[in-house]
Amino acid sequence: MSKYEPQELKHMDESKRRIKQNVLQHFEKPEKKPKFNWTVGFVTVILLGLSVFFTITMLTGQYTQTGLTPGKEMPTPKPPVNEPVPLVKDEGSEFPEVIEKENRFYVNGITIGMSQEEVQAILGDAFELTEPPEDAWREDFDMQYGNIKVSIYMDKVAFIVINDVNQPHFDALFESYHGERYIGWTDSRKQHIAVRLFYIPETAHELVANVEENKGLTVRLDVTHGDFYTDIETAGIERVQDE
């Protein structure tokens, strides 16, 4: 019967055979499907990269603004540039105010012959009362104002001693003084100064400056006891002549 089948039927049988064969091959060797959509994955990777880049940029900007380096501690904040910087004053190195009035020397407003009450009225009550050494002369007790010692004898100021005086300021004072001033040397070659002093003959006031060990430049305001001119000549102290 088959040899008498029409040509169209033969073609349909052939087509069915090929279809069955393709179906069988499909189930026996199925094609591998992609695990994910490549387009969606590619877009996801791009978005993730942009997010990471944005985060790093923000952090870097913060470190730049604060002056920090990742992993380092926060630096101590500095004061603004226009903030005044407090001046640092060296310990000691004080320079008293020295003036001459009515043929008398005054140191920080006080002078020889004042009473204890007058000293306190000028310098205040912040002083330490100390006993003089056993071999002291003309000292009943001392009023210690920091580096200034005011010696009281018979209820009056006998002399004043100031330790650790600022030497450059004293040098300027010595050079500018127009009264009697004297200078003594430690050696005949006059290379090292031993003493410098001012003198007022009318009141026998003398202001003496010399360098003492561990005390720096010491200034003493006192009055002369004895013949001033004979004493300085014996000591080899010379008067400085004004130019």
pLDDT digits (tens, 9 = 90+) for 137-174: 889 999 999 989 999 999 999 999 998 888 888 888 89
Q: Find all residues with CB under 8 Å of 160, minimum gap 6, and list them.
A: 107, 110, 112, 148, 149, 150, 151, 220, 221, 222
83-110 CB burial, b ≥16 within 10 A, e <16: eeeeeeeeeeebbbebeeeeebbbbbeb
Q: Which tens digits make up the pLDDT trace of 57-90? A: 665 555 444 444 555 555 554 444 444 444 333 3
Q: What angle do CA 149, 165, 137 make, to 5 degrees?
A: 35
Task: Give the pTM.
Answer: 0.60
